[in-house]
Structure 1
């Protein structure tokens, strides 16, 4: 029988995809090699890296009212509920739907103005943004082979909650405590994620009408393949080769990056909007030069990749070509198509991404809306950014997103 890579063995419908079994991974996968070698080799790191001192927190808007323990009655619980949210990617991993916090009936403050919401978000986020930017710049290590820059983005999606393994079920009270805990909320028994997939109709509406209301102009349309490579000599990071398709159908490396490093993540459940908001500051680490062994390995992976629209991630490799010796191995692949629109202060990116993780043999297809706050990112790089100017820029950006990008219902 001809060899089929693990990601081509899955049914085409994600609804009927079985829960992946880590023990059935191909021997060419990093985890498989680790098991076969008696655990001598490090496991590839998670693709999300948080810097030391990173703040990651969640809050609802409008905020919870004081609860009974504060002597103010029953709070807002009668107007809020936790609702199962359809998310195949999480359901395949956990066997259960995650939960979203929604308003079951209009409550006090539900008709609050955009100005009030924007002010509340900016006042909470800006002080930590300035502090996080300073920590990030202080932590820069000057290396000739790397180019590092700060990036501030706003994403739209849905904040989802799950219980930690062995923890108590998610309830309104656990959410109240998580909101109180702020940046210490990660120590609770609550697992939070931000689901960025939106319906095709949402992307189409953003492209056809919303971007015009926001005063944005078309910038570019691009297709990329991202080949994720694990280097055992750099076990705390993963390299991502961003590749373009040449006229002859082959792939060419356009850029090589390390994992992004997050410095500040603010997730906001916008209770009287259809979608929620994430504000995030991170550093991008672009490799300018590579040593010969790394460069040859990346070129080998890219040149041996086969473009195949029938497999998850869009790329497959011939048998034996997913790893090079004991040092390098493919751990994931993305195929992305995006259109970008911009004005002088921000860039809107509408992306369709097909991702496959070779470590877990799971894939995900998503439509994503991201606002890159380019003017603020540049200003944060300054030695002494002016707080007043940044506050005005932040309020302007949040107001634009609040008014134009959060009113679209995600349906099952």
Structure 2
């Protein structure tokens, strides 16, 4: 029998092996090595670099963590205890760790605890230098182009701080907050924003009617995450709405990964919820060359809305790439209700996320509070720290009194 080259051989369906994820990825994608020496050298040089789909930090970004709610001179003993988190366990095979107050677990009387009377004041004082520094660094680093719009934002997020390892020190022997912060400073952590349904219901029906915010809007979006070979250090996030009658997507805007400037995580053992404050910038691409926009629009047009798949979208085989430049690496399907007043914007969001490259995803409920008063000052380039601190302290007082404890099961 004459020799038949592999690419011309025909197999029966029953003999054909199921395609592996590697076979479905274009050659250029398999050849990329974003964890290379070049990546590490650029990271050391302070450039905003990242692997596809990961988080970007600004070159001079500041990240802090501490336990909030206790006086600096005396704190209870703490332990790190494993907690259940299905998505984390699926990825690592281990349970994450959460900080637990030993005194709280033993039910010590309330008067014996060394708690701050006004934590919102101490938090504002504690981060004002880092906030001012981060704002100045952000303003100095803004490269404004006619084809781009850069939007600074300051937000509070609610969830649970997960620690991924134990420190070398024994936490239950530490009695000073500064020593505790030092011991935990090298421990890898993440902030888990998937909150229980009961907490979302509490915010919607128990908090929002009391705090002077009005209903703003309810929207549903699909976010198509696109890797661009010509922008290897960023991911294009294509925000789309569904055209129901045609069962297709309509492109609304294209954004690059948010860049984090300041990250402050606060464990709140005496509360049900932990708190994260974050200053970041988001870059919106207002104009793209015709050939680039054409490629992205063709990817979007090929998407099939399918509520039975993770992320709510799928593509016919081979249609999730365009040429040798673009590839779809992830999808989100989000539904959000927002409430606002002149200084804040509260968002309650249901999100169905799927990372195509890693074949991982999660459906989550999230609550965030955007401090729009502060964000407006930053967008107008009014960076005096006095007005910013006042707005921050007012927001933190509201958060401490209403958002960190709820009538339901805690997240840990």
Q: TM-score, normalised by structure 2?
A: 0.83
SS at match of 1:264: strand
Decide whether aligned partners of structure 1 residues 132 and 65 sit closer, same or farther in structure 2, where only a CA change above 3 A counts.
Answer: closer
SS at match of 1:394: helix
Name 2:332's counterpart in structure 1. Answer: 334
Name 1:148's counterpart in structure 2. Answer: 150
Q: TM-score, normalised by structure 1?
A: 0.83
Q: Does 1:365 align with 2:363?
A: yes
Superposed CA offset, 1:225-246 (max 9, x none): 0000000100000000000012
2:228 aligned to which of 218, 226, 231: 231
SS at match of 1:209: helix
Which runs of no fewer than 5 residues in structure 1 stay unpaired? 3-8, 10-22, 67-71
Q: Over aligned residue pairs, what C-alpha RMSD do you find?
A: 2.9
Is the Cα–Cα contact under 8 Å of residues 214 and 340 in structure 2 kept in the other structure? yes
1:101: Cα distance to partner?
0.4
Distance across 2 between alignment mates of 1:335 and 1:220: 17
1:283: Cα distance to partner?
0.3
Distance across 1 between alignment mates of 2:306 and 2:200: 25
Name 1:410's counterpart in structure 2. Answer: 410
> Aligned runs of 1:105-124 on 2, under 5 Å?
105-106=103-104, 110=113, 112=115, 116-124=118-126
2:277 aligned to which of 279, 282, 286: 279
1:330: Cα distance to partner?
0.5
Name 2:348's counterpart in structure 1. Answer: 350
Is the Cα–Cα contact under 8 Å of residues 56 and 258 in structure 2 kept in the other structure? yes
Is the Cα–Cα contact under 8 Å of residues 323 and 329 in structure 1 kept in the other structure? yes
SS at match of 2:103: coil
1:28 aligned to which of 3, 24, 27: 24
Decide whether aligned partners of structure 1 residues 61 and 109 sit closer, same or farther in structure 2, where only a CA change above 3 A counts.
Answer: farther
SS at match of 2:390: helix
Name 2:84's counterpart in structure 1. Answer: 86
- Larger gyration radius, structure 1 or structure 2: 2
Is the Cα–Cα contact under 8 Å of residues 110 and 272 in structure 1 kept in the other structure? no
Distance across 2 between alignment mates of 1:264 and 1:282: 7
Is the Cα–Cα contact under 8 Å of residues 76 and 102 in structure 2 kept in the other structure? no
Decide whether aligned partners of structure 1 residues 144 and 275 sit closer, same or farther in structure 2, where only a CA change above 3 A counts.
Answer: same
SS at match of 1:313: helix
Name 2:45's counterpart in structure 1. Answer: none
Distance across 1 between alignment mates of 2:250 and 2:172: 50
1:376 aligned to which of 371, 374, 377: 374
Name 1:208's counterpart in structure 2. Answer: 205
Q: Does 1:45 align with 2:52?
A: yes
Distance across 2 between alignment mates of 1:383 and 1:400: 26
Distance across 2 between alignment mates of 1:393 and 1:176: 27
SS at match of 2:204: helix
Name 2:39's counterpart in structure 1. Answer: none
Name the stretch that deviates more: 168-177 or 265-274: 168-177
Name 1:222's counterpart in structure 2. Answer: 219
2:65 aligned to which of 58, 63, 70: 58
Superposed CA offset, 1:289-336 (max 9, x none): 011222112111111111111111110100001112221101100000
